[in-house]
Chains A and B, each alone.
Chain A
Amino acid sequence: SAVISQKPSRDICQRGTSLTIQCQVDSQVTMMFWYRQQPGQSLTLIATANQGSEATYESGFVIDKFPISRPNLTFSTLTVSNMSPEDSSIYLCSVSGNLNTGELFFGEGSRLTVL
């Protein structure tokens, strides 16, 4: 298993500002995933963060809005840029436990509220 720490756990932000969420894993992993869970909605994959290359974004998500860094095999950041109230969500970092099984381990999430 992997232990994933996310910071901040929650924050209240002003419209138009940007916030960076950090994700630290206790072991080296090839791929890290960033998910979003809007209020009352399911989890949606934003992007896959690969060390040493650009992140791969899912349909509906763009790098300008959600820039991602992956400087090493244990750390990643997701920035939510120019926030609006629609960005109020829980943002979750996850890593693959075993690519053969498809299992994911999740962080506790970062709950952002945009006023």
Chain B
Amino acid sequence: DVKVTQSSRYLVKRTGEKVFLECVQDMDHENMFWYRQDPGLGLRLIYFSYDVKMKEKGDIPEGYSVSREKKERFSLILESASTNQTSMYLCASRGTAGSGANVLTFGAGSRLTVL
């Protein structure tokens, strides 16, 4: 089974703080994604990465950046957290071949509250 692990389940930060959300997957997947989940808005793509050191903007990249230094790890960075970034953040990964190619596998989520 593919495992996508988000190290922080709950975080509380103050406005202006720098926030790191870490995600690790253990199935050697090429593709990794960060989504934001808000009630009534569904899942919105923030950033994604097709390979190490590669990144592409999703639908709502403003206020966020990402880092992918190793294939298994994809980090989401909030340079200066704001209250409107209070949300559930979901990391996902997806392979490019075999049975894993069509399955986007999610982590359990990181709930961030910005005060």
Indicate, yes or no, whether A interacts with B. no
Which positions in B face A, CB cutoff 8 Å?
Answer: none
